[in-house]
Amino acid sequence: MMELETLEKEISYSFKDKSLLKQALTHSSFSNEQRIRKWKNYERIEFLGDAVLELVSSDYFYHTFPEETEGNLTKMRAAAVCEQALAITARQLKLGSYMIFGKGEEANGGRERESIIADAVEAVIGAIYLDSGIEKAREFIHRFVLNDLEHKRLFYDAKSILQEYVQETKAGELIYELIKEEGPEHDKLFAMEARLNGKTIGYGEGKSKKTAQQHAAYDALLKKDGNKKDLRI
């Protein structure tokens, strides 16, 4: 595990109660193996952080886009705080490198599992909230979660954007083909290709077929002439 002081510098926040940050980065697999009370892992703090994130992000989109409808605001928020978007934040901060896992989860690749590192982001938010209150949590969310929103929205809507583009341009038949799956039953890794008229236009991997398809569609969009305007975002 990397030193937590390094992470504090990365997020520009120093915890008064260091145990909160340690708890936020402790996976249940470790506390279960060590037979430590469950509250010592990140699950309770992640529950709180999820609520703080929903409030702060809702407030952000409400005030930033005063003309948008409730339905559009909901979609925008969902794109910004979905599992994949939070995993992007986690990778930027290298949260997986700081986490404490049990031996089993460590061996199963927990440090790279999107669902786990996304939860860790919410846990860190919860820890900051408990340590200093809503404003410091808001600063973290605005800086590390509600950033690069165009990129995150593109990923979140990748399949629907690509499908819409194919239909509008009458480009042909778009399908997703499973080309590989590996790993034990409880920890599968799927590889998918997005194919247009039989030609591979995107590739993606994920812990579920749906996630792998999303990555493949996103890859196809990024390759499409490098011009996002053509994709009608």
Q: How far apart are CA 157 and CA 75, in angstroms?
A: 10
| Cβ atoms of residues 200 and 184 within 8 Å | no
DSSP 16: S
Contact residues for 103 (Cβ-Cβ < 8 A; gap 6+): 33
| Cβ atoms of residues 118 and 206 within 8 Å | no
Quick one: 186 exposed, middle or buried, by C-beta within 10 A (0-12, 13-18, 19+)?
exposed
Q: How far apart are CA 13 and CA 130, in angstroms?
A: 13
Identified catalytic residue from 46, 50, 105, 131: 50
- Nearest CA to 208 among 81, 114, 74, 92? 114
Residue 122 a catalytic site member:
yes
Token pair 């986490």 in the structure block, residue: 99
Other Cβ atoms within 10 Å of 13 Cβ, number: 19
> Could you tell me if residue 118 is left (phi over 0), alpha (psi between -120 and 50 degrees) or otherwise beta?
alpha
3-state secondary structure of 99: coil
Identified catalytic residue from 105, 114, 122, 193: 122
Catalytic machinery residues:
50, 122
